[in-house]
Amino acid sequence: MDSRCGAVQLKEVLMATATEALSAFAYYIGSGGYYEKANSTSKYLTRDVSNFSANKGSANYTYMGNLCSLNPGAWCAMMVSTAVYEACGSDKTKAKAVLWGRWPHYNCGTLFDDANSAGRAYYSAYQRSTKGKGGSAYMPVPGDVIVFSDDGKTRTHAGMAYACDGTTVYTYEGNSSNMARKRSYKLTSSYLYGFCVPVFDGEALGSVAQFQKWLGVTADNVYGPVTKKAACKEHQRYQNSTFKAGIEEDGIWGPETYYATEPLRKGDENDDVIVWQGLLYCKNFDPVGLDGEFGPNTEAATEAFQKKVGLNPTGVADPYTWAKIFDSARPEHTTLQKGSEGSEVRYLQNLLTNDGYTLATDGEYGPKTEAAVKRFQADNGLQADGICGPLTWAAIE
């Protein structure tokens, strides 16, 4: 892989940022826990640590509820919102970005749902082994939001991880026996529903900036036209150097680049995977590293992106998925027949191969390609003339 990147791992930065977020809980833990207010006369305790045990009770009037504009109310999710808010310098816009586009969170269900829609949620070991849920064997790290469930279905509680030793996860939780407190659970516990990874790859994590450094453009951590063009140019360079695509390396996504793009899938390891991972970060999907290895996390982030843009979540970065990530559309196809050649023919050959009509992707519409098209047409109720026209294109894509 290109020496500009090597194995760029982001976990250390994430953990440092998470530690900052968790430090906010020091205000709520205190000696014996942070108690809720017993009545509505004072409404909520202040952030002052000297008031932790004053007027203890269970009326759910809290500092977090006041900040989140919901008093009284269950406050486990609001405690997560408050911790992130304070870690972001009391900036609600940044806190919203960290918590997958929503701040504050008032209930546990939206924590997992929003994280899942952003490609940031992982089911627990218990869910994967007994409920048949998807997701890789993710190990929680400090800063992850933990969602709990009493029955394996309904999300009933939330907290945040501050440590994990490989068998046990240690958490801070609000609204636990009317207080905020530390707890721990075996990773096999049926109470664990899943883990939600905050989007700390904004200013704090800088994954977009890491990608920009690899591309050789100004690392301002903002995905704009310059970064987009550089990413497209790097993708074109890879297609040319690896597959002899012969496309212009102009950084402009167009039909020739679309047709020349070879799909990326789980198991691939190359520079083009780095480009793909970087673009996922630019679109707020987390492949968990810019390492050029298309592993389970990159596959999961790809599926999440495909769902978001209305594509079949195959986890394969095919040309149409590339087009979507570059904010482009599928090109209008030309009619291909025996004697045609070029990148569009190679694209057709790839599609036929993926559908089980195995062909060499040589870009030449010869007898074997014609025969494969005829078989495809016959199998799909089309006129088997060996010509790939509008009806055949519509059926094969």
In this prediction, residues 155-177 reach a mean pLDDT of: 88
Please check the confidence at residue 295 and state whether its pLDDT lies above 70. Answer: yes
- Quick one: 29 exposed, middle or buried, by C-beta within 10 A (0-12, 13-18, 19+)? middle
DSSP string covering 206-248: -HHHHHHHHHTS---S---HHHHHHHHHHHHHHHHHHH-----
The 10s digit of each residue's pLDDT in 230-247 is 999 999 999 999 988 889
Q: Across 168-182, 208-222, 278-292, 369-383, which has the greatest mean pLDDT? A: 369-383
Residue 134: how many other CB atoms lie within 10 Å: 10
Longest dimension (CA), the chain: 85
Summarize pLDDT for 58-67 with one digit per residue, the tens.
666 777 777 8
Amino acid 119 reads G
Is the pLDDT assigned to residue 213 strictly greater than 80?
no
- Average pLDDT over all residues of the chain: 83
**Could you tell me which of 11, 14, 24 has the C-alpha nearest to residue 204?**
14
User: Percent of the chain at pLDDT above 70?
Assistant: 81
120-147 per-position pLDDT tens digit: 888 999 998 898 887 667 788 778 899 9
- Split at pLDDT 50, 70, 90, the class of 310 is very high
Q: What is the DSSP letter of 168?
A: E
φ/ψ region of 244 (left if φ > 0, alpha if ψ in -120 to 50, else beta) reads: left
Q: With cut-offs at 50, 70 and 90, classify the pLDDT of residue 25.
A: low
How do beta strands 155-164 and 168-176 pair? antiparallel
Of 286, 349, 282, 272, give the one whose Cα is nearest residue 317: 272
354, amino acid identity: N
Full-model pTM: 0.51
Total number of residues shown for the chain:
397
Identify the structural domains of the chain with CATH numbers, from first to last.
11-196 (no CATH), 207-325 (1.10.101.10), 343-396 (1.10.101.10)
